[in-house]
Chains A and B, each alone.
Chain A
């Protein structure tokens, strides 16, 4: 076999193995300002709104700063500023996600309009809410899960199943790091979701529908996304790069990639010690 073809074969095998196991190094993940657009779709009405910056909490990590201004050009009729890893589009089955957000001091908590910070979204063109969303609403941080057993075309936002769980009162100046293990399914009585927030397991479901029709794959997004009004506010948030894992990933491994890595490791160690 010519060396070039052999090299391609090796690279292909490596890529397939990487996507299945451990944290995916091919899709999403940390990058630099100069290579951001080669790994992420950058969706914004104003290109200066999304930039690679130092961790506002003071670690040596690089993260993303996202701004949303009332003067921005709308995207698909809405104020949207987010990144989404290129090539990631899981329609059904098992996938791990690591998504983190930091709301700085000065985040306005009095406006009741919801702001989606972290989502795993279905096709925007469908008009359907994301299957998974971490939402700031007033002074609450919420988890919103939406799905529909009806076939594509029949499913609407109005007839979709939705559940909203309050995760807590918003604290500014801290990272909220989420790791999600999702088995996406649209069939009734199927589907699993397990969610950890800052290394604590806070949501666990089984045999529970969590998706829409498989015509739409699920794409993780991080930034400032307004399903409705901005409330006339300019906002800033920091988000980590999106982390993805294959079937053999696990929670500790995913948290090790996030801005909460040190805190999470301590929490996992304490939990293990408690059950010995």
Chain B
């Protein structure tokens, strides 16, 4: 059989679509083995995702984007809890340059967006012993909304505040235009304490989101270190979104950074399709592996 570019593309698409629907999606998330640049340029996103799904050398820039005022604020390091795996170490000094006018060092999955429907996510953070406890919030993981013009808080975020780890939920059933458009001020917002903040341990979250912004629709399940700490049904959990909802982990300090520095460890971000299970996602985290 003569293999043409279109054949490669079709195979890639089939592989990617199949992978995205079932099991853990290594095309759009998962481990990184190097910060070096991939010498190969792929002709399409589909081809890149196909490579990511099977490639053993996994390049940071092929999977993730760094949102930070400095380029050396994320490193690949050994799991601080001693397990034989690498994780990200993210840092930010109060004096570091802002990124897009905000104090943040975050890693986001660069090719992951889901507008509506079911998606699984696994994200984990580890607060080091040098963590400065402070009442000002530090957002350590987000399932954020892609928007063209609306400025909105993320549909789902995990926030370290004082001695608490909180789950924050934001959504809006409204349209983006018309006489009563969605705004940050009229969005539904919830803050739920899910655990005390303890340094020197992993907080491994698994999320099962059935994204929907319509009244009486949508569901969300959250597990922390294997325990189901939150679940909702028939409850809107999103906004009308441009590209979709996407995951991020790291350090984001809304407003001004009020501590001299922040360091945090973050696992890679894992995504799963509709037939994924909680056990499958949890097994990928530092708590389940």
B104, CB-defined interface residue at 8 Å: no
Contact pick for A206, options B135, B189, B227, CB 8 Å: B189
B216 in contact with A166 (CB, 8 Å)? no
Q: Is the CB of B227 within 8 A of A166?
A: yes
User: Do residues B229 and A166 form an inter-chain contact, with CB atoms below 8 A?
Assistant: yes
Pick the contact of B187: A150, A161, A200, A207 (CB < 8 A): A207
- Chain A residues with CB under 8 Å of B37's CB are none
Q: For chain A, which range describes its interface: under 10, 10 to 19, 20 to 34, or 35 or more residues?
A: 20 to 34
Chain A interface: which of B9-17, B79-87, B117-125, B231-239? B231-239
Chain B residues lying within 8 Å of A150, measured Cβ to Cβ, are: 216
**Chain B residues in 8 Å Cβ range of A203:** 190-193
Q: Which of A149, A164, A275 is B216 in contact with, Cβ under 8 Å?
A: A149
Interface digits, B132-151 against A, CB 8 Å rule (1 contact, 0 not)? 00010000000000000000
The reply to whether A162 and B235 contact each other, CB–CB distance below 8 Å, is yes
Interface: A229 (CB within 8 A): no
Q: Is the CB of B216 within 8 A of A205?
A: no
Query: Are B234 and A162 in touch, CB under 8 angstroms?
Result: yes
- Asked whether any CB of chain B lies closer than 8 Å to the CB of A89, the reply is no
Contact of B193 among A148, A200, A207 (CB under 8 A): A200
- B201 to A: closest C-beta gap in Å: 17
**Residue B174 at the A interface, CB < 8 A?**
yes
Flag if B232 contacts A207 (CB, 8 Å): no
Chain A hits for B190, CB < 8 A: 203-206, 208
Given contacts A165-B192, A165-B229, A202-B193, contact A207 B186 (CB under 8 A): yes
Question: Across the two chains, which residue of chain B brings its CB closest to A271?
Answer: B162
> CA–CA, A202 to B215, complex, Å?
25
> How many interface residues does B have (CB within 8 Å)?
24
Most chain B CB neighbours (cut-off 10 Å) among A160, A161, A201 = A161
Q: Is B228 an interface residue (CB 8 A)?
A: yes
Tell me whether B188 is interfacial, beta carbon within 8 Å: yes
B residues 216-233 with Cβ under 8 Å of A? 216, 227-233
Contacts of B232 in A (CB 8 A): 161-164
Taking CB atoms, residues of chain B closer than 8 Å to A160 are: 234
A108 at the interface (CB under 8 A from B): no
In contact, A205 and B231 (Cβ under 8 angstroms): no
| B230 touching A189, Cβ below 8 Å | no
Interface residues of A in 242-276 (CB under 8 A from B): 274-275
Tell whether B89 is near chain A: CB-to-CB under 8 Å. Answer: no
A window 201-245: CB within 8 A of B: 201-209
| Contact (Cβ within 8 A) B233 A207 | no
With A159-B216, A166-B227: A205-B193 Cβ-Cβ less than 8 Å: no
B92 close to A (CB within 8 Å): no
Given the contacts A149-B215, A166-B227, A161 and B188 also touching, CB distance less than 8 Å: no
Q: Does A11 contact B (CB under 8 A)?
A: no
Closest CB in chain B relative to A104 CB, distance in Å: 25
Please name the residue on chain B nearest to A158 by beta carbon: B234
Q: Which residues of A contact B262 (CB under 8 A)?
A: none
Within 8 A of B (CB), among A159-193: 159-166, 188-189
A164/B230 in contact, CB under 8 A = yes
List CB contacts (< 8 Å) of B30-64 with chain A. none
Q: A164-B230, A188-B173 are in contact. List 12 more A-B contacts (CB 8 A).
A: A149-B215, A159-B216, A161-B234, A161-B235, A162-B232, A164-B231, A189-B186, A202-B193, A205-B189, A206-B190, A207-B189, A275-B135
Q: Point out residues on B near A: beta carbons under 8 Å.
A: 135, 172-174, 186-194, 215-216, 227-235
Would you mind naming 6 contact pairs between A and B with Cβ atoms under 8 Å apart? Answer: A162-B233, A163-B233, A165-B192, A204-B191, A205-B189, A208-B189
